[in-house]
Structures are given as structure tokens and as C-alpha cells.
Structure 1
Amino acid sequence: MSKKSRPTKGKDSARKHREQPSSVRDEREYPVAKNEEYEAEIIGLTHDGEGVGRVNGFTLFVAGALPGERARVKVLKVKKQYGYAKLLNVLEASPDRIAAPCPIFDQCGGCQLQHLSYEAQLRHKRQIVVDALERIGKLPVAGVGADDTSAAGAIPVHPVIGMPNPWNYRNKAQVPLGEVEGGLVGGFYAQGSHRIIDMDACMIQHEANDDVISKVKEIASSLGISAYKEETGEGLLRHVVAKIGFRTGEIMVVLVVNGDKLPQQEAFVDSIREAIPGVKSICMNRNTRQTNVIFGDRTDVLWGSETIYDYIGDIKFAISARSFYQVNPVQTEVLYRTALDYAALTGGETVIDAYCGIGTISLFLAQHAGRVYGVEIVAEAIADARRNAALNGLANVDFAVGKAEEIIPTWRADGITPDVIVVDPPRKGCEPELLDTMLAMRPERIVYVSCNPATLARDLRVLVDGGYRVEEVTPVDMFPHTVHVESVTQLVKNETGRGNA
């Protein structure tokens, strides 16, 4: 054991553990022991944003530590091949370490990377994509720069497209409420728990959403309205959801309640209208189930309109209380324009958009395609998609409700032959049946928009083995200061058989 890796206490105890017979040995025989302190070398960063530390050749995951650092850590948990440790202090800091500007960064679980410079965040996110393609997809990835000597067929993974100003980018806040002596608290959950960290402002939220949350807490407290208690199922106000149209400035307030009525409803609504001049819609959603799902099934408009409006590029979208709408409209336009570029439309193509949601990508594509077919399992989203198509005067779009893997084969049976298929699946990736259907339909190009590099890599392996070639991948930073990364991948039909090796 090297000097720097010795624990600061418990040496005699550790010696006794080594002398025990194998029949009674347990985790104490590992190179580290629970509750002991060590000096760790941090050699990497996980996809969850934890530092990967090494002590005596043993791996410890250390929240808050960064690659290239030496740190004093305390072991919290030991497993067979790895453990978890708490960062006590940084002995030698990474040049990429910065002081997190948010005052509750160490408590709140919303951001994981504020202590890492933005340039380093972008490099890390590209590496997440590269690692997934290589390890999970077994796909060759090209290096970066003019000196790259990668083999022919290696996939270019471009630098992550970041934001000029990576703050105040979220257009939606969903804030749980709780009670303390003297009033209500509202904020995000502490990491790994359901303990609410009260906040006055969130640095990645649009300032208008911060104002809505603050004002609603004040109004509810003044009216004596109780907060929901998750442990008992009692109390009324569960969440406040605030939405803002970045381009229009229109604001929607949604009160999620544990009941059928809102006490002093008229006074509550009037107070919100007076306190928040830009509000266009005030809604109440009923959720009486003991669940951590935010929304219930019924939403009523208490005042104003059913929707607010916003734009992505020159496409106008109606946003209702429960409709899905990308939370970073600035980067959404970057993401969708990349998808449009990869689709390489000339004006007459037939396009299928699987997992189309409220039609955001579909409408982008419809401006440049002959016909677009969108499918989505959520009926309310398809209703929004149809409304958005009409709102923008786009008549060359058809939408269907159902599972993509069930609807698209029926389109194929009806003679619909796509030139391009675009998929934007949830984190679990594409269903195997959908991948099989895409391979059977043999479009010229597939554009895969992904929010999960692991399932992207898994699905790309299937498509490559089925005769497609991955041309390039462009990651986009939709959620600065978090560990999440989205990406757009272009695949082209390979007439000679298999794609990338």
C-alpha cells in the first residue's frame, strides 16, 4: 500500500480482518474499508457526472470530483468491484474546475456539472457519445482534428453544439411544494431524495418561471392553502407548473392539486393575474393518486385560454397544460435544423416521423417534403400535432395515434414507401419491431434523434447490421450544466450490404 493511499485510521482493525479465515471474510477485505478516509486519484467522469477515483487499484465513484484531481475522500459503501465515497476536500484541482455559481448547487439535484467549465462539459458530453458507440455499438469512431488516422468507415462524431449563453434556457418549471413553519416551500428535490430544496431562483430557468413560482408560493401561503404531503397523501397543492413562450412572452400557470376543488379559487386566480401581468392561462390539474407522477388525467382552465403559443424557427406551436414541448427552444431549433439537414430533402420526398409528439419535427420536415406521416402513442399529443399543422397552414402532414411499431407496418401495407424515416424515441430507444420495420421498408436515409447515447448505440448496431451506414453524428447540448446530451445521427442505405464494420 502506497503512503498516499493508506487510511487515516483503522490500520489495526484492517490487519485483523486480513487474518480472518476465508469463511468469514466480507467486504472488509477489499482494498478500501467503509468509513475510512483515503487519497484518491480521479481518472474520469461517469455519465452521471460522478468522478471515477482509484485507491489501491480499486474504483470509487465520488460525486463532485473531476478528472485529473487528487482528493481526500471518505468511503461510504463498498461493493465487490467498486464503491462510493464522499468528497472531503480537493488536494489538487483540475484546471477545468470552476466555482459553481448557483448557491444551492451542492444541495439541489437539478444540475450535476456546474463545477465544470462549460467548454469541458461539451468535451465530456461528446466523449459520452463516443464511448457508447464504441463500447455498446461496437462501432468505429473517427478521431478529432486534421491528424486523425482512423480507419476508413470510422464515424465522425462532431464537437457538441453548445449555447453562447448556457443559462436561463428552460421554458418550463415543474416545482413540488411542501410546508414549513411559516408557509410553503417550493423547489427541486435534493439529489437522490424527495426532500425539497427551497429556492428563490434557478439559474437554468427563464426568469419569468422563477417569478411565477415565487408569487404562487406567496399567494397560496397567504390564502392558507396546504401543500401535499407525499408520506400521508394529505394536503392540497402538489406542484406548480410554469410555462413561458420565449418568443411570445405568454405565460401559463398550472396548479396541480390533490382534490376536485381549489379553495378560494376566485381570490387565487385574481391574485395570480395581478401579480403576474404576462399570464395568459391559469389551469388546474387534478391528481388524487398517491404517486410521484406529476399530472393527473383531468385539467380545467380556471381563467384565460387553453393554450399559449411559441415559435421554433418560423413554425408556431400551441402549448397546452400537458402537451410535451421541448424545454430549451433555442437549442431545439439547432437540433431540428440538424435533423432537417441530415434528411437531405429536395421537396418531393415521403417522410415518416416516428414518435412525433406534438409534431415539432414533422412540421419542420413538411416545409421541405412532399408528404410527412407522423405517429405517436399519446392521443393528446396527436391532437396538438393536428392543431399545430392547421395553425401553420401545412396540409401535407398526416398524423396517427398508436405505437410506431404497429402503425408504420399498416402504412407499408397501404403502399406508403418512405424515402426518409426520422425517429426521436424516448430514453429506452426504438422498439425492436420498429427497427425491423424500418429495415424492411429500406428508406434511403434514416435520421435518428436520441436523448440516450446508450440506446442510440444499441439501435445503430442493429441498423448497421441490417445494411445501413452511419455517416455522421452531431451531439447538441440541450441541457447545459446537466449530464444529459442529445444527438442527431444520419444513416444512409448501403447498397453493398452491411454498413460500418
Structure 2
Amino acid sequence: MKQKGLPVQKNDIVEVQIEDLTHEGAGVAKIDGYALFIPEAIPGEKIEAKVLKTNKGYGFAKLLKIIKASPNRVEPPCPIFHQCGGCQIQHLSYEAQLKMKQKQVQDVLERIGGIKDVPVHPTLGMDEPWQYRNKSQVPFGEKDGELIAGFYQKRSHRIIDMDSCIIQQKENDIAVQAVKEIASRYGIRAYDEEKHRGTLRHVVVRQGKKTGELMIVLVTRGKELPNKKNIIDDIREALPGVTSVVQNINPKRTNVIFGDETKVLWGEEYIHDYIGDIRFAISARSFYQVNPAQTKVLYDKALEYADIKGHETVIDAYCGIGTISLFLAQKAKRVLGVEIVPEAISDAKQNARINGFDNVDFAVGEAEKVIPWWYAQGVRPDVIVVDPPRKGCDDKLLETILAMKPERVVYVSCNPATLARDLKVLEEGGYKTKEVQPVDMFPQSTHVEVIVKLVLKDTVN
């Protein structure tokens, strides 16, 4: 059915110039002002495309032919790049990826936050932007009666079987393949999400980059794991570095990977890793950054922006297992961390103990409730650090920050759009955004981490 008033219709073949990239990595072309989004097309290219879908204000098209290629185009080294939905911009040179992320942050801050004339520094990238992920989460399926493990095809729940992933650490790839072979050996059936049958849903592999310790988490639909002892023995034999084999039980009809129940089948409850000189205990469900090299870069920048001299009280909202908190505790007089996940706070307290920090306290609860309570008890922070989930900070937390008036706020974000929204609130409430630093935590993907320094306008130099 044709849509009136549009310059293109479904199934049209068009020749277009690519002007920009979306935040999802698709090329943007304009036809009489009408935007077409075209995956795998790059700014500066002239291409031929087929229109797949049209809406009132924009449409989607498929790249058919590159008429004139961009100098920033490279051949994706991954053999399943065009099918897999894990990496969106492998076809873009790494230098161009870093520039794209800087521009993305700058554009969003201006468009959503109205924040201009603030330095957005060049994105801090990696020397080797491959094999950086210390955590693999791989779903299982079946094809022709055989067990397969891989990643989901773009915009689908069909699993693409794979032997390796070039952004995962090699040890993780080896571990995933070993688990797949061992599960096949004992006839373990993969979970079928449509029929809600089968046993094995995911394997999650975590590795301590500095320690080499390896944790294997088998996510199952039910509590039973047939041939459990043999499977554990075979995993230990196949993977000499393994220190922990864990089962997580997820009986729900859901796309969420983990269920509520976790039990250690063999070995330790934790593996350990270092960021800088600080040692962290990581359990099966702990949030721990997947790129340890860039995490050090990110946290060093957070410490720099916090500008701690030694007398300060610092609050770390959304503190997780205490990663940023402990970096801050190296210099601050006192650090208070809050996190809604009880297991994360348990890990945070253990991490403080194993590193000998006695100037850190952690609380379980919602940051927007706990921090106002601290304020009512007389806590007056000099610095507040926030590292919220993708949805950004809760309104009540932003109100509390504005009431507390710390001299500095350090905002760490994994979503530039909600960051911009929250910065606008903080700016209207009396803060000035001083500088913005994008950090490339996820090379080959469109995701970007951002760290921002804000200061009270009364204290701006």
C-alpha cells in the first residue's frame, strides 16, 4: 500500500548519498528531506538501496550496492558480521569509530540537554580493540538435532552457531566450545523458549584478566542437571584454569538470562580480578565492567574529575560491587556507596575488606531513597558520583543532589540521551558542565561510555 506524500515507496530502488550515522550505526540518507536509515552504509558513501519500509517521517532501506565507498570503510574481520547482531560497526575503521562516538555525544548533549560550548574531548580508545571482553553470555539452541551455541541473528531470536567471537577473550571462546561439546556428549537438551522445554539456556563465562581465574555458569531451566558430576569433572579436565563451576536456575518464560537462584557446584563462589592495584571479588551475577583495560581508563578519569584532596566525603550512587567507590576511597576521607542489589552490596563489602579499606560504608536500597535519608542524618558530601543504569538518574535523586549542593558531581553514563536529559536538570538547578570525556568501552559496537565533570556555579573558577 502506497503512502501519499512520501518521496519514496516500499520496494523502490534508490541511489543516495549517506550523510550521517544513527546511534545504532545505520547510515542516514535524505531524499527531499525524508530520512532513510540504511544499515552498514557509511557517511560519505554513494550507494544503491532498496526501500523496505516507510513511515510518515522516515523509512528503512537495505544496502544493495556501494557506488562510491568511504575511505573509512574496512573489511569486517568477523565471518558472521553480516548476520550477527553483536557488533554493529566492524565495517568502520577504528579511528572513524572513535570520532563517531565523540560526535554522537556532542550532538545529543546539544539536542536534548541544550548544552553547548562545553569541551567534548576525543574518545579514549584502545590500542588493540579486539578480544577485550572478559565475560561471555552465550545462548544454547538446537539445529538438526545437534546442540549449538552462539549469538542471536540481527533482529531475531535465531541463534547463529559459532566457534569464536573476535571481541571475546580467547579463553572465553575455548570455554564456551568446551561446555558445548561436554553438554552434547551427555545428551543435554537446549532450552526451547517457544515450548518452554529443555535444560540448558545459557553458558556464562567470566575470567579475571589479571588473575586468570575462570568461572563457568550453567544457566538451566530447572534445578536438575543430568550427569552433573560427569559434566563438572569434564569441565575441570578440559579447562585447567577453571576455579568455579556454578549453576543458575531460571524457570521463567523470559529473555532475561539469570534467574533468582544460584548455587556453586564446584570450587569457589568468587573469581578475582584487579583494576589498577585494587582487587575485586566477582560472583556469578555481579556487575563488573566487561573491558578491564578501559575500566581503568574510565575510573582514573572519574578520580581526576572528582578532584579529591583528602578531606572529602564522597557518595557513590549506584555503586554496584564497589568498583568506583574503592577507587575514590584511595584518596577520600570517607566514601558512602548505595546499590539496590543486595548481592552486589555483599560483594562490595567483601571488596573493601580484601583491600583493607576502612573508610567505606555500603548500604542496600534505592539511591533516591537512601541518599535523602543520609542527608536527613546530617551527611554533607563534597562530591557525588553517579553511574546509573541506561534509564538515567531517578528524579528524586537529582532533586536530592540539588538540595545537598556538593561542590562537584561526576556523572558516569552508558546512555548519552539520558545523560543529556539529567545534565539539563542539574544545569538548571545550579551546576555547570565543565568537561565531557567519552570512553570506548565497547569497540566495534555503537555503545559509548561517557564521564562528565560538573561543578556548582558558585564555585566555578
- Whether these two folds match at TM > 0.5 is yes
Aligned to 1:81: 57
Distance 1:26 1:62 in 2: 20
Matched, 1:286 2:246: no
- Which of 407, 411, 415 is residue 374 of structure 2 equivalent to? 411
- Which of 144, 149, 170 is residue 186 of structure 1 equivalent to? 149
Q: Does the 8 Å contact 1:97/1:116 carry over to 2?
A: yes
| 1:229-249 Cα deviation digits (max 9, x unpaired) | 011000000000000000000
| 1:480-491 equivalence runs, <5 A | 480-491=443-454
- Which of 258, 265, 284 is residue 295 of structure 1 equivalent to? 258
Q: Does the 8 Å contact 1:350/1:419 carry over to 2?
A: yes
Q: Does the 8 Å contact 1:41/1:55 carry over to 2?
A: no
Aligned to 2:404: 441
Query: Runs (4+) of structure 1 moved beyond 2 Å?
Result: 54-58
Residue 495 of structure 1 aligns with an amino acid whose one-letter code is: D
Distance 1:283 1:412 in 2: 40
Matched, 1:223 2:186: yes
- Which of 316, 319, 323 is residue 353 of structure 1 equivalent to? 316
Distance 1:29 1:346 in 2: 62
The aligned length equals: 461
Matched, 1:341 2:315: no
Matched, 1:94 2:70: yes
SS of the aligned residue for 1:128 comes to helix
Q: Does the 8 Å contact 1:39/1:55 carry over to 2?
A: no
* Fraction of identical pairs, as percent: 62
Aligned to 2:134: 171
Q: CA deviation at 1:183?
A: 2.0
Matched, 1:63 2:39: yes
Aligned to 1:387: 350
Q: CA deviation at 1:89?
A: 1.1
Aligned to 1:116: 92
Distance 1:450 1:57 in 2: 32
| 1:2-81 equivalence runs, <5 A | 26-27=2-3, 29-81=5-57
Q: Give the gaps of 5 or more residues in structure 1.
A: 1-24, 141-153
Distance 2:184 2:65 in 1: 40
Q: Does the 8 Å contact 1:362/1:397 carry over to 2?
A: yes
| 1:253-279 Cα deviation digits (max 9, x unpaired) | 000001111100011001101111100
TM-score by length of 1: 0.91
Q: Give the gaps of 5 or more residues in structure 2.
A: none
Q: Does the 8 Å contact 1:168/1:207 carry over to 2?
A: yes
Instruction: State the Cα RMSD in Å.
Output: 1.2
Aligned to 1:478: 441
- Which of 203, 206, 221 is residue 243 of structure 1 equivalent to? 206
Residue 64 of structure 2 aligns with an amino acid whose one-letter code is: L
| 1:391-418 Cα deviation digits (max 9, x unpaired) | 1010100100111111011111111100
Distance 1:352 1:82 in 2: 44
Aligned to 1:151: none
Q: Computing the radius of gyration over CA atoms, which structure comes out larger, 1 or 2?
A: 1
Distance 1:101 1:173 in 2: 19
Distance 1:205 1:27 in 2: 44
TM-score by length of 2: 0.99
Q: Does the 8 Å contact 2:214/2:244 carry over to 1?
A: yes
